[in-house]
Chain A
Amino acid sequence: MIAASLPVQRPSNAKALIVDGQGHIKHQARSEFVNLLRPGDVVVANDAATLPASLSGRHSRTGRRIEVRLAGRDSLDDVSQFSAVAFGEGDFRTRTESRSNPPALIPGDRLELGLLRATVTRLLNHPRFILLQFEGSQREIGEGLARHGRPVQYAHLPTPLEVWDTWTQIAGPPVAFEPPSAGFVLDWNMLASMRARKIRFGTITHAAGLSSTGDPELDALLPFAEPYRIPRSTALMIRHAQASHGRIIAIGTTVVRALEHSAAMFDGVVQSGEWLATQRLDASSKLSIVDAILSGTHERGTSHYELLRAFVDDEILGCIDQELNARDYRTHEFGDSVFLERAANRTRPSAQPSVAP
C-alpha cells in the first residue's frame, strides 16, 4: 500500500475492496458504495467532529517546549479533563515514532498552552502518557481548545491539515481526537441516494481516540476507553432492521466498537444513551450487531486491523493484504477503503464480547 498524501476526503479515483460473506474479493469505485447496500439495510456512521487535539506550549517548570495530543476522555460533555500523550521539540514533519521526548513530567507540573493552563494530575503508567486537568470554566476551556488547538498532523502529508480537512460532512459534536475517517466517504448526495433506495441512515457520537502514539508500549494499549452516545433514533432503527432481517452496516471501527459494546451490556440489544467503550475487538470477538464494515485500509498489527479480524478469518485477511498491495491501494486517513461482510461462519451468536466493568 502507499500513503495517501493529499487531504482530499472523496477523491474521484478512491477505490474500495469488497469482501462478501463467502470471502470472495472484488474491487470497485468507492463512490459506488451505495450499490453494495440493500433496501432495509441500516448504515450507521460516527458523527463526532474532530477536536483540534494538538496543543503546543511550554512546560512551566523547565521552560521547555512541549506538545500534548489529547488522547482520551471519560465523558463526551466534560472538557476539563483529558488523557494526553506528550511530545518534546519538533512538529508534524517528524514521524511520530521519531519525535523527541518531552521534559520529564511529574504530577503537579503546569503547562501553558496558548491561553489554556493545565496541570498534570498524574502519569498513566507511562512517562509520556498523562492525565491533564484544564483550568477555567467549560466555556473558557472550550474556547481555548477551539482557538489554540491544531488538528493532529500526519508526517506523510506534505502540508498541515486544517480543521475543515478533518471534519466529515456529517460532523456534529466536537469530541473526537482524530477524524472518524471512514466517514469521509459520505456526502449529502450519498445520503439522499440511500434514502431513495430505502436504506436507512443513523449516527452515533463516539470520541475516536488517537490512532498512533509513536510509542510501541502505548500503541499496544490502543484503543483507549472511548465514550460514545447512541441516539434513540439509531437504536430504534437497528432494532427494526434486525426484526426485518436488514443488515447493520458500520462506517468505521468506532461504530463497531460502540454498537457491540452496547449490545454486550444489554443482552444483545443496542440501547440509546451514553456509555464508555472499554473492550478490544479482535479475532476472538463474536459480533452480535454489525453485519458489515466500511473502513480504511489498515496495517497489520494496529488495533484497527485487529478489529477487522472479528469480521473475517486471517486467511482472508492475508488475501486482502496481498490485493491491497498488488493494486496500490492507498492507506491512512485519506486513503482507499475496504468493505467487509462478516464471514458466513461468524453468524450472530448468543455469546457476547467481554466488557470491562
Chain B
Amino acid sequence: MNIHHKAPNSIPSPLTSADDHRFNPFPRRRVAITGGTSGLGLALVRELLNRGADVAFVARSRERVKRVVQELSDAHGIVGDVSRKEDIHPIAMQIVGALGGLDVLINNASDLGSAPLKLLADTECEDFERALATNVLGPFRLTKALLGSLAASAREGRESVVVNVSSDAAVNTYPRWGAYGASKAALLHLSRIWDEELSLEGVRVLSLDPGDMDTPLHAAAVPDADRSTLKRPEMAARELADAVAAVLSRRASESDLGSNSDSEVVVKEEIG
C-alpha cells in the first residue's frame, strides 16, 4: 500500500497481524464506499463488514447494487453516479440517513477516461471530462456534502477519515494513461491540500495507492495483462483497511479510548 503524500513518520504503519486481535477500531464505525459493486470497492465492503463496520456503498447500476445487497444483507446499497452533480446530495442524504452519521468516506469509484487507453492527443475531450468528473469532481463534491457529518463525528472524539483511492499513475508519467493519470494527480493534490486544511477539524484526508490489482478497471486498461502478477483486490482491501485502522487507532490511543468513559474522552477533546 503506497501512501502518497505524507512523510513516512506522519502516517502510522499498518497494523501487523499480531496487532489485529489487539484492537479493531471498526465496530460501530460508519463507513461509506463509492464504486462498491466490483473490484476493490466490493472487496472493501466485504472486508469492512467483516471487521464490524456499518457500511454503505454506492454504485451506478441498480441491478448490481441489488445483487450485492442480496449477498451482503448488512450493507446499505445506494444507487447513484458520483460523476453527476445532481446525484451528489441524494447520495449524501442516503448515506447519512442510513448510517446515522459518517466516520469514514472512501472515494473509490474511478473512470479510466478512455478504454482501450489512448494517447493523450487521441483522447476525446468528453472522455477526459468524464475521468475528471468521476475521479476529481465527484470525490470533491461528495466529500464537501459529507464534511458536516465527518466534522461532527470528529467533535465527538471519533477520528474521521476520507480516503481517496489513488494510483501510481498520479505520480508517474505513463504514456496512454493521460486522462486517468492527470485526474488522479489532481485528486492526489486535492487530498494533500485538504488534509492540511481539515486537520484542525479532526478530519484526515488520505491518498492511498492500492497497487496494480486484478479488477475490471485494470482489465479494461490492460486487457492482455498477466493476471497472476496482479494483486488480488481482497489483499488490497485488507491493506487499505489496515491503513485506515492505524489512523483510527492512533486517535483512539491518543484519547485513551477504552480506559475512560466516552464523555471523558469528549471532555479531553473539546474542553481540555
Contact = CB atoms under 8 A, between A and B. Distances in A.
B266 A233 contact: yes
Interface in A185-211: 188, 191-192, 195, 200, 202-203
A170 B197 CA distance: 15
A167 B89 contact: yes
A233 B155 contact: yes
B156 A172 contact: no
Contacts of A233: 155-157, 266, 269-270
Interface in B70-92: 76-79, 88-92
A232 B149 contact: no
A173 B156 CA distance: 15
A172 B200 contact: no
Contacts of B201: 188, 191
A169 interface: yes
Given A49-B96, A236-B263, A200 B79 contact: no
B152 A146 contact: no
B270 to A, nearest CB: 5
Contacts of B91: 146
Interface in A128-166: 138-139, 142-143, 145-147, 163-164
Contacts of A173: 96-97, 100-101, 149
Contacts of B44: none
A300 B152 CA distance: 34
A37 B148 CA distance: 22
B200 A192 contact: yes
Contacts of B155: 202-203, 231, 233-234
B151 A170 contact: yes
Contact of B152 (A138, A168, A231): A231
Contact of B101 (A143, A169, A172, A232): A172
Contact of B271 (A139, A171, A203, A237): A237
A240 interface: yes
Given A167-B89, A188-B201, A231 B148 contact: no
A146 B90 contact: yes
B94 interface: yes
Given A77-B100, A191-B201, A174 B151 contact: no
A164 B89 contact: yes
Nearest to B269: A233
B84 to A, nearest CB: 12
Q: Size band of the B side of the interface?
A: 35 or more
A49 B93 contact: yes
A316 to B, nearest CB: 34
B267 interface: yes
Given A233-B157, A233-B270, A143 B94 contact: yes
A258 interface: no
A51 interface: yes
Contacts of B149: 172-173
Contacts of A192: 200
A67 interface: no
A146 B152 CA distance: 22
Contacts of B100: 77, 173
B190 interface: no
Contact of B76 (A139, A202, A237): A139
Interface string A197-235: 000101100000000000000000000000000011110
Given A191-B201, A232-B156, A233-B269, A169 B94 contact: no
Contacts of A237: 270-271
Interface in B181-223: 197, 200-201
Contacts of A191: 201
B93 A51 contact: yes
A173 B100 CA distance: 7
B238 to A, nearest CB: 28
Interface of B: 76-79, 88-94, 96-98, 100-101, 145, 147-149, 151-152, 155-157, 197, 200-201, 262-263, 266-267, 269-271
Given A49-B148, A231-B155, 18 more contacts: A49-B93, A139-B76, A139-B98, A143-B94, A167-B145, A172-B149, A173-B97, A173-B149, A174-B92, A174-B96, A195-B200, A202-B155, A203-B152, A233-B157, A233-B269, A236-B263, A237-B270, A240-B271
